[in-house]
Amino acid sequence: MSAHLLTELTIFILAVFVGLEVISKVPTTLHTPLMSATNAIHGIVLVGAILVAGTADAPFNAIVGFLLVLLASLNVFGGYTVTERMLQMFRPKAPAAKAPGDGAR
């Protein structure tokens, strides 16, 4: 293992701990949007896709590149759109609902 990989592994492990800490605070009612939001975040692989596809020269690489940018882009745009749509629906009280405080946790 190179020193460089070790540094990256360090970043990875620390980020896992940050992730566990932050995500354990997400309430169960938001677990579907959470999945969808993290789905959008792993669309970051688009960055890798652009790096690989953007500098590919062999025709085969261009095809792989097109496919992978397409998949990653689908992941990013679809993921954020669907999360936004879902979160729009979460309201504390719909209009003309019960009196305030009633039924609140």
Partner 1 sequence: MTTPDTTPANWIDVAYLVTGVLFILGLRYLSSPKTARLGNRISAVGMLIAVVATLSQGIVNWWVLGAALVAGAAIGIVSAQRVKMTAMPQMVAIFNGAGGGAAALVAAGELLKVYNAGTAPTYDVSFTSVLSAVIGAVSFAGSIIAFLKLQEVMTGRPITYPGQQIVNAVILLAILVCWGLVVANSPNALEYFWIALGCSFALGILFVLPIGGADMPVVISLLNSFTGLAAASTGFVLGNNVLIISGALVGASGTLLTVLMGKAMNRSVTNVLFGAFGAVTASAGGGAAKQHNVRSVTADDVAAMVAYANEVIVVPGYGMAVAQAQHSIRELADQLEKRGVDVKYAIHPVAGRMPGHMNVLLAEANVPYTSLYDMDDINGEFERADVALVVGANDVTNPAAREDKTSPIYGMPILNVDKAHNIVVLKRSMNSGFAGIDNPLFDDPKTVMLFGDAKKSIDGVVAGVKAL
Please, which of residues 79-98 interact with partner 1 by CB under 8 A? 79-94, 97-98
Residue type at 51? Answer: L
Least distance in angstroms from the C-beta of 96 to partner 1: 9
Can you say whether the dihedral through the CA atoms of 86, 91, 92, 97 is positive or negative? negative
Site for partner 1 in 1-40 (CB under 8 A): 1-2, 4-5, 8-9, 11-13, 15-20, 22-40
Q: Cα separation of 47 and 43, whole Å?
A: 8
Q: Which of residues 50-79 bind partner 1 (CB under 8 A)?
A: 50-58, 60-62, 64-79
C-alpha to C-alpha distance for 41 and 83, rounded to whole angstroms: 11
Rounded to the nearest whole angstrom, what is the least distance from the CB of residue 93 to partner 1 in the complex?
5
In angstroms, give the least distance from the CB of 30 to partner 1: 6
Helices (H), the chain: 3-23, 31-41, 45-54, 59-89
Least Å distance between CB 1 and partner 1?
7
